[in-house]
Structure 1
């Protein structure tokens, strides 16, 4: 580490929330586009069994990654956002956090190796498990939390898209046969986390690393503890269905469910495009004081948007589940249709719940957030262990739906006084009425065209829903839609 500020260093340019949301929407759109190309291809080439074991391996390693990260996706983002205007404080903080992560990743990796060597399920797939373990190091040193804290969403977006393109090309070249699942695992890492290598190389543009800093690691331990428990438990319960399915079911069942898992995560990422950009701005508002009205306004706008988006996706997943699975997986995966329909509410519930968690972090309510996540993890384990043996992959989906509802209810109750203020600026009633009518109309039309080509039936259903839902929202003069229309006129 050098002792002097590099000549190419500069202060980060902070864009507007609208710009950040647009960048995250582009990133999310790429997250939709690339899987729409790769998932149908990989599902057919590898087959359900090999596809299932790869998905399970990455789910398994993700638990160790969560522990290694110590909740830094939340804690690091919040703390760096607070001091982003002071280069020296930001540099000292980033250096401290990276050193802590280095030690954490090493300890966790040793524990991972022990588990891989001891568990029969992982010993049987040793090469795959060691390939997947690279994610621990790439995640720990990716410093994604740092770039989010200084709101560099333009860089995050285009960097991710570039590596996804590279992975896409490599996939079509090298994944050609059923036994190419190890190659697929390597390419999957390149596409999802390979860009993290650039993060650590570029970080010196914004911070100065120096041995002369008076570092104070102890100041992070108290805050990190709550965030670590919160981040680990939240990540664990959101993927516990896939993990426990690997212990209770066959590779084929995991292959069916991994498609549900991917579709659900793709849809949830649409809501994440909004919620992930909120934490740095909310943290900044809360740390500077006097911005309570701005915080409330930001929360209300996003609640309206997430409700409209989430309800629309639920309609799509429930009504068009069968053609969606036919397109993305093929006829071999049609057994996953009931599980996909059961999973649909997770998209809305988890997105709104995630937004509440962003506010809880920004407002220093991380202790209550941790409690909700711990309760959620315990509840998820109980439900999954009870439902999977009797209901299979449908039980795995139902267990997570119930867990997400319970976690949302706890967070909403914790923030009940503040949410009363937010609800004054939302249009729940109008949105739900418009959605109910639009869904009924779409269901009727889809019943008439469901025997058509899967692409055509989905296109017709989407056109009907968007038209009816959009017209009704404009007729009801829904706040978010009307504000967007006024901006366009200007």
Structure 2
């Protein structure tokens, strides 16, 4: 399947994973309030640590390893079962540790127990197999169906603030069913094999090498909410969590390319085609800049008028937080290209690990310093600075392998077009005030400004993409006539 089709499928998958909960947010925010939203985010952040230690980087490792051996069914089958059995052992150990934690903790016990379904979901998740095979269609269709049912259940059964446990159960169980449903396709893809202990054991060490950077990434993805809950309150966690979800929705559109490119680059690298690998990366980095910059400026531009009507007046602060966090869309887009699309597929985990560990340490220190005086705003600032440091470190270490000027050659055009789009969006926001109509006008008029300005500045990528789009439209018209 082509990179373009896989990218589209993976964008859909990422958006399904994040947007479907977002669809319910205006309703859930009003029913559960900032305390309920914050309680869900805080307890989930704790459970994510058990998932992290249970999966120990196996999903990323599995994706890459499957890409190496996908042309040999016998080797593919042995690799799959070895990795899966290892994952069952590690997630089983993590679940046992969670039960000990549940016995010790004296608050939110019911919510924690329901959140543990996510650990079971992680155990049966085999989406890494289909991603390594570059077969994203199955993952998208199954998850879309299950999550739509979940949304319907939320509107049917979550009615008051006392229904928080029902909301958490629906989200967790939907994810469990989504992962479990992928097993339907397995007999057509994988054969049964007789495993030896060595077939399982050999995957442990390389998985752990991916586990270290995953710990670091988790620190500034999840520890933010944990520290906010400890040093501030669940209301602040709620404000930050809603802002974080909106930014991640936008971010998923950009980072979807990373999941698509990882197996393609890994397979190309395994064949020794180094120059082709680098060309993939130059194009991918340019595309990431082209797409992430308008999304970054667009988010910052609409946030103040968007948050109060979307989440409810109680969540006005989330608008400010979206503005503060929005630069991570660009920074993570870049680090996704360098880290997940290059360093990880070629096996250079040392640099990748160093960069994310550096970001995690900076994030941890800044959270300690900023949460007290600035609460959720301090966490947002810490997140942005940490992500900036990650990409700076990565660019520094690959400066001899890639021409940095070539990577950034069109950046000034994207930044210029994005900045003027931002000014226009803010003018509309200040003029029309809070309301869904304002957001609609900002989006509908802002996006064309960005693309028109790029045409004026003669952006090569902009011209190519619109050229492809026009060809597709003409093809559809010819077929329909």
1:311 equivalent in structure 2 = 293
Contact residue 15 and residue 252 of structure 2 kept, 8 A: no
Report Cα offsets for 1:359-386 as digits up to 9, x if no partner.
1011111122122222222222111111
In structure 2, which of residues 380, 399, 406 is the aligned counterpart of residue 416 of structure 1? Answer: 399
Contact residue 76 and residue 149 of structure 1 kept, 8 A: yes
Report Cα offsets for 1:214-238 as digits up to 9, x if no partner.
8433432332221111222212322
| Structure 1 CA distance for aligned equivalents of residues 392 and 267 of structure 2 | 27
1:308 positional shift:
2.6
In structure 2, which of residues 336, 340, 344 is the aligned counterpart of residue 354 of structure 1? Answer: 336
3-state DSSP class of the match of 1:217?
helix
* 1:258 paired to 2:244: no
Structure 1 residue ranges, 4+ long, deviating more than 6 angstroms after superposition = none
3-state DSSP class of the match of 2:161?
coil
Say if 1:178 and 1:489 are closer, same or farther in 2 by CA, change over 3 A: closer
Say if 1:489 and 1:394 are closer, same or farther in 2 by CA, change over 3 A: closer
| Structure 1 CA distance for aligned equivalents of residues 74 and 174 of structure 2 | 33
In structure 1, which of residues 100, 119, 128 is the aligned counterpart of residue 86 of structure 2? Answer: 100
* 1:171 paired to 2:154: yes
Contact residue 118 and residue 176 of structure 2 kept, 8 A: yes
Structure 1: gaps spanning 5 or more residues: 1-14
Map 1:70-219 → 2, pairs under 5 A: 70-119=56-105, 123-211=106-194, 215-219=198-202
Say if 1:327 and 1:159 are closer, same or farther in 2 by CA, change over 3 A: farther
1:34 equivalent in structure 2 = 20
- What TM-score comes out, normalization by structure 2 length? 0.93
1:100 positional shift:
0.8
Q: Note the aligned Cα RMSD (angstroms).
A: 2.0
Report Cα offsets for 1:271-315 as digits up to 9, x if no partner.
12222111111101111112x343233222322222232222222
1:77 positional shift:
0.7
Contact residue 171 and residue 187 of structure 1 kept, 8 A: yes
Say if 1:399 and 1:92 are closer, same or farther in 2 by CA, change over 3 A: same
1:29 positional shift:
4.2
Structure 2: gaps spanning 5 or more residues: 472-481
1:152 positional shift:
1.4
In structure 2, which of residues 448, 457, 462 is the aligned counterpart of residue 481 of structure 1? Answer: 462
- What TM-score comes out, normalization by structure 1 length? 0.91
Say if 1:193 and 1:301 are closer, same or farther in 2 by CA, change over 3 A: farther
* 1:472 paired to 2:459: no
3-state DSSP class of the match of 1:381?
helix
| Structure 1 CA distance for aligned equivalents of residues 179 and 22 of structure 2 | 23
Say if 1:220 and 1:37 are closer, same or farther in 2 by CA, change over 3 A: closer
In structure 1, which of residues 17, 42, 50 is the aligned counterpart of residue 3 of structure 2? Answer: 17
| Structure 2 CA distance for aligned equivalents of residues 217 and 193 of structure 1 | 24
